Every structure is written in structure tokens, then in C-alpha cells.
Amino acid sequence: MNIKPLLTADGSHTLYLEELDETYHSRHGALQESLHVFIQNGLEFVVRSGLQNIFLLEVGFGTGLNAWLTFQAALAQGITVHYTCVEPFPLPEAIWSNLNYAPAEQQNDFALLHRSEWNRTVSLNQHFELTKLQTTIQEVRIPESHFHLVYFDAFAPSKQPELWTPDVLAKTTASLQHQGVWVTYSAKGEVRRSLMQCGMTVERLPGPPGKKHMLRAVKH
Ligand SMILES: C[S@@+](CC[C@H](N)C(=O)[O-])C[C@H]1O[C@@H](n2cnc3c(N)ncnc32)[C@H](O)[C@@H]1O
């Protein structure tokens, strides 16, 4: 894997993956994108519905940015998050330890997320339990009707179309409980239609800076 760090427009890092000619986040702002799509329109939407004990699935752990922001939100809001993520290609320490997501005094907490053992459930504190599964979303066995929230953060449909197939989308929506919420940064029409065929009510919401739209789908 040939991976290089890049600074995005809001000053936060992302990674550039040469093989796919693709970045891990929007070049318009990695932090802004994660906050907008996954935290504000995903986690906070679920918390506003009254949930305090949240089972969450992330497709693509990558830099750990979404997990880090969720970890911080869980502490700040006094909620508990059981965070399960799927990632076939964990990043080496030389890469993740140089990302500028955590201030120096919180770097140890950020490192906890990355150092946490793969393929087992680890309680990091009373608000955050982490299960990192080193496998693909196609291969992983996940329970049905289990999660309250899915962060779907695969590489773009144009770069990794095999992650956006009706089968994979159906598997991740089937893993949601009734009223469960599924969010992604992409607003592709084909993705929206596949989600609707899975019985999801899909909203096209304003995207983060630099992106017109994103998708949020709710299971009914
Ligand atoms: C767009 S990046 C985002 C990662 C992460 N959420 C972040 O904020 O850094 C997509 C991630 O999906 C991972 N990935 C690639 N193929 C996958 C697969 N088949 N199943 C699950 N994840 C995959 C990549 O290795 C990468 O870490």
C-alpha cells in the first residue's frame, strides 16, 4: 500500500492512496466532512431520538477519525457507544501516529483506538466499547436487526464499486434495528435507489463544504 498524508482545506489531515488514486476524506476538509456527515447527521440525530446506549457499525475504520470523533462525543454527552468497525487494511503506526486529529494531550486516547486489539471487544472506558474486525464488509458476519446506526464510509462508488452493490447495501441495512439510521457522504442516485429497495426512507441532506449532498436513510 502506497499511502501519503495530505492536508485538507480545513487544516486536518487525510491520506492519499496511490493504488486507487483516492483520498480517505474530502480534500475540502476531512474533519468538517466527518463532523457533518457522521457526527451531526448520524450520531446526534440518533441521540436526539432519545437513545443513550448506541450500537454502531462503521464500514472502513481507516484513520480512525470517525471513531475518534464518536469517542469524544460519547464522553462529552455522557452516552455509551458500542462501536464495531470493519477494516481489512489496518494502517501502520508510522501513518496513524502522525495524523493531526488529536491535540497533544489527547494523543494517548487516539492511540488507544488504534492499538486496541483486532477481532475482540475492548472496553476503553465506561462510555466507549470498541470491536475492530479485520476483514471486509463482504466477508464479515454481522447480526441482523442489531445496530442503531451505520457509518458507511467506503471509498467512493467510482473507485470501489464492489462496496456499493445492492448486496452490500442490503447487508448493512439488514444489520439495523427498526428505526435504525444509515449515513454516508455519497449522494449517488443508484445508491439512493438501492437503499429504497432495502425498505429504507432516504433523505438527501445538504453535504459538508465542497459537496452538494449526502444521504441519510432510516429503516422502517
Ligand atoms: C474512505 S476510507 C475511510 C476510512 C475511515 N472511516 C476514516 O475516516 O479514515 C475507506 C476505508 O475502507 C476500507 N476498506 C477497503 N475495502 C474494504 C472492504 N471491502 N470492507 C470494509 N472496508 C474496506 C479502506 O481500507 C479504508 O480504510
Contacts with 190 (C-beta within 8 Å, 6 or more apart), sequence order:
157, 164
| Distance from Cα 152 to the centre of ligand 1, integer Å | 9
| Distance from Cα 101 to the centre of ligand 1, integer Å | 17
Q: Which pLDDT does position 33 carry in this prediction?
A: 98
User: What are the structural domains, with CATH classification, of the chain?
Assistant: 30-219 (3.40.50.150)
Pairing between β-strand 13-17 and β-strand 3-7 as defined by DSSP bridges? antiparallel
| Distance from Cα 61 to the centre of ligand 1, integer Å | 6
| Distance from Cα 151 to the centre of ligand 1, integer Å | 11
Q: What is the CB < 6 Å shell around ligand 1?
A: 24, 59-63, 65-66, 86-89, 136-138, 153-155, 163
Mean pLDDT by 10 residues, the chain (220 residues): 95 98 98 98 98 98 98 98 98 98 97 98 98 98 98 98 98 98 98 98 97 97
Q: Which pLDDT does position 1 carry in this prediction?
A: 74
Q: What DSSP state is assigned to residue 20?
A: T
